[in-house]
Structure 1
Amino acid sequence: MNPTATRPAQAFLPDFCGTGRVVDVLVICQLVAVVLALSALQTARGFWFSLFLMSLYLQWIGIFSVAALCLIRRHLGHLNARLVAGLSYTGLLAVTFALSEIVYLAGPQTGIAPLVADISHQDFLIRNLGVCAVVSALGLRYFWLRDAWQRQAAAEAEARYQALQARIRPHFLFNCLNSIAALVAMRPADAERAIEDLSDILRASLADDDRPLATLREELELVDAYTRIEALRLGDRLTLDRHIEPAVADWPLPPLSLQPLVENAIRHGIEKLPGGGRISIEAVRRGDFLAVSVTNPRIEKPDDDSGGLRLALANIEQRLALRYGGRASLQTARGPDRFSVVLNLPAPEADNL
């Protein structure tokens, strides 16, 4: 079955209850009025008067048409999209027919008499309904194709996002296993505890693989479990500081967004320092954005290979772009002895994904 045939009507028909859509429709009506006035052009004076009357008539059609589409979308959103398209098309023709009848019958007694002068009742209706039929068909067809394109783009973005997500999970798992392997021979009890931590991490990260977003609290739990595993290997060389605003604990973010940053801080910072160092995680709200920063000490080496670091950061950047568009960002700051990464994520109410 074609999925577009049964998708919800809200996804196909735009919201005509807002001011922006009303303005768009009125602009289209005005352009049609200009075309019709030009087609009947006789003199310059006659053009402007004809344009005024045609604009007045078509603007009323536009206002009532927007109202009809608003009601259809609001009250018939549960229906099949094809049925809604048919109802919308019929509704637009009905509005045009009703207003055309009113104008033709009332025209001789009002100032809009020139609109119906020298034209029969039948020809007046046929002309107006014909224009409405063409314009409405083109508009509804545009909305249908735009919705299909948006759905295809969203599906492709979701596929790319899932591919990136699938790529980061094995990398995360292998690093944990390598850390545990280093403990098995010398410290089997610690290795056993590390395996329990790893099982908790995998349970949390894979329990609901289809979820679009996790929470900051869940991501911090993964970070805690991961750093406990690494602390068994690094000992006192690894210290983790957290400064988290309580109000942002349930802020949504893509799964496995924070743990790879901490992993990079350990691999490319703490491990390369003989005395280890301190990793700092800070999460604060800044306006409509959550700013999560991960800072670690580092040493500058001419032969330092940061390819893995760049790969992980590029992966997270791509996932942010696919999930949030241009509203989220990942920023890095490299100093002589410090390296920082900052995730800027939009507020839940600003996220339409």
Structure 2
Amino acid sequence: MPPRRPANPNPLPDFCSLPVLFALLIVAALTVTVMWLAPDSSRGWRGYSMGMLFAQWMALVIGVGLCKLRPALDRLPGRWPYGTVWLLMVLVVAMASGMAAWMNTALDMSLIGSGATVFVRDNTIIAALLGAAMLRYFYVVAQWQARLAAVAHAQVEALQARIRPHFLFNSMNTVAALVRVDPDAAERTVEDLSELFRAALGQHDSHDGTLADEWHLVDRYLAIEHLRLGDRLRVERDLDALPGDFPLPRLLLQPLVENAVRHGIQPSRTGGDVFLRGRRGKGHIEIEIDNPLPEAPSNGGTGHGLTNVRQRVALRYGPRAQVNAGPRGDRFVVQLILPEQTDARTDR
């Protein structure tokens, strides 16, 4: 597999997005308005209307042109993308101003009173100054967003590193007990443990996994616990409605399933049922992990697992995501509501 090309540290703004295009239109409109309101301006409403039409047309042409050229511009090294964008903006305005001046003379519209040369010169200077200012603003915003993404990524990595599944210690004892009694089961348990260790240690090329990958790890974990708890652990799944390729931080669900087994099944002599449910809503998915409440109060945990999940969900999916947890009758339910963001960045 060929090595991935490192991302440009100075990415251009998305000129295809509505906020960037709207900013270009607003700056163009404000420029024409300020020039029209200047004390020495001799332009009337007719001149203002034509100037506004020309400026908005220029903003649209520049925005659409940069939208189409952005993939090629992003391949330039260093800060060349910004310099090339600035040069293109100035050239487009200069050429369009020259064409407008020629049409004004050819059609004798008398819209330009200062002469064609002055008109082209002034528009080019204004485009150069405003283009430099806007690109500087976009550059600062891009750097600020990159720093926020780096901080969020570091926080997620720190939270990921704090995951230390308690079941690993019990599982090693299970393996030791099975080596002589059932070598095949011991071998399967070691394989399951290796998968879980690999996920816990973060030995992956990308930060995010998929929902299908996470359910696979959960199944590995439950297979180990079945060896330890036997028929006391019963699992019911209703997950067919969930998209398997949904991006999900690794080991997000396993700690919740572990808590369900540790606090809902393990303290009970008769065991119980753990329900794993999922459904797809409008623009989001819902996942529920449901376990029985123990008859007698169990030794309370530190709450680290649930807190860890809350923080990672907030960092990865933003304020639209929810993690709700609490008793419902004689059961304890953890509900995750995760927005479907097909274009979400995985470094956040």
Q: TM-score range by the shorter chain?
A: 0.7 to 0.9
Matched, 1:98 2:95: yes
Q: How far apart, in 2, do the equivalents of 1:247 and 1:337 lie?
A: 27
Q: Distance in 1 between matches of 2:77 and 2:179?
A: 63
187 and 65 in structure 1: CA distance in 2 versus 1, 3 angstrom threshold = closer
- How many corresponding residue pairs? 338
TM, length-normalised to structure 1: 0.82
Report if aligned partners of 1:38, 1:47 keep a CA contact under 8 Å in 2: no
1:141 Cα deviation from its structure 2 partner: 1.0
Amino acid at match of 1:16: F
Q: Which residue of 2 aligns with 1:52?
A: 49
Map 1:177-256; keep pairs closer than 5 Å: 177-181=169-173, 184=176, 189=181, 193-194=185-186, 196-203=188-195, 206=198, 208-245=203-240, 248-256=243-251
Q: What's the CA shift string for 1:21-75, capped at 9, x where partnerless?
A: 43432221111000111115568xx543442232123223223322332233144
- Alignment-derived partner of residue 343 in structure 1: 336
Q: 1:260 to 1:17 in 2, by over 3 A?
A: closer
Q: 2:121 aligns with which of 106, 117, 126?
A: 126
Aligned AA for 1:178?
N
Instruction: Output the amino acid matched with 1:37.
Output: W
Secondary structure in structure 2 of the residue aligned to 1:349: coil
* Structure 1 alignment gaps of length 5 or more: 1-5
Change (3 A) 1:237 1:85: same
- Unpaired runs of 5+ residues, structure 2, are 1-5
Shift of 1:182: 6.8
Q: Pick from 125, 130, 134 the counterpart of residue 135 of structure 1.
A: 130
1:322 aligns with 2:319: no
Report the CA distance between 1:161 and its aligned residue. 1.0
Give the direction of change, closer, same or farther, for the CA distance of 1:101–1:186 in structure 2 (3 Å limit): closer
Distance 1:198 1:177, change over 3 A: farther
Closer/same/farther in 2, CA of residues 82 and 16 from structure 1, 3 Å limit:
same
Q: CA deviation at 1:129?
A: 1.9
Other-structure match for 2:23: 24
- Which shows bigger deviation, 147-156 or 280-289? 280-289
In structure 2, the CA distance between the partners of 1:188 and 1:326, relative to structure 1 (3 Å rule), is farther
Deviation at 1:336, TM superposition (A): 3.5
Measured after TM superposition, the shift of residue 190 of structure 1 is 5.9
Kept in 2, the 8 Å contact 1:183–1:190? The answer is no
Cα distance in 2 between the residues matched to 1:60 and 1:112: 19
- State the match for 1:291 in structure 2: 286
- Identity %, equivalent residues: 32
In 2, Cα distance between the equivalents of 1:99 and 1:182?
A: 77
Conservation of the 8 A alpha-carbon contact between 2:292 and 2:332: yes
Distance in 2 between residues matched to 1:17 and 1:222, nearest whole Å: 39
**In the alignment, what sits opposite 1:3?**
none
Which residue is 2:66 aligned to? 69
Residues 42 and 142 of structure 1: is their aligned pair in 2 closer, same or farther, counting only changes over 3 Å? closer
Paired residues of 2:175 and 2:189 also in contact (CA < 8 A):
no
Cα deviation digits, residues 129-174 of structure 1 (max 9, x gap): 2211110001111121222222222122111111111111xx21x4
Give the counterpart letter for 2:132 in structure 1: A
**Post-superposition CA distance 1:186-238 (Å, at most 9, x none):** 99536984574244333355174343222333323322332233233333322
Task: Quote the residue 1:107 is aligned against.
Answer: 104
Q: Matches of 2:191 and 2:175 in 1, distance apart?
A: 16
Q: Residue in 2 aligned with 1:39?
A: 38
Structure 2 counterpart SS, 1:282: strand
Amino acid at match of 2:308: N
Q: Secondary structure at the match of 2:276?
A: strand
1:246-302, Cα deviation, whole Å (9 max, x unpaired): 76344332211221111101121112223221111123322333322110000376x
Instruction: Report the counterpart of residue 156 of structure 1 in structure 2.
Output: 151
Query: Aligned partners of 1:227 and 1:22: how far apart in 2?
Result: 51
| Cα deviation digits, residues 98-132 of structure 1 (max 9, x gap) | 12222333334557524x31x35443333222211
| Larger proportion of helix | 1
Shift in CA distance, 214/100, structure 1 to aligned 2, threshold 3 Å: closer
Q: 2:273 aligns with which of 275, 278, 290?
A: 278
Query: Does the aligned pair in 2 maintain the 1:273–1:298 contact within 8 Å?
Result: no
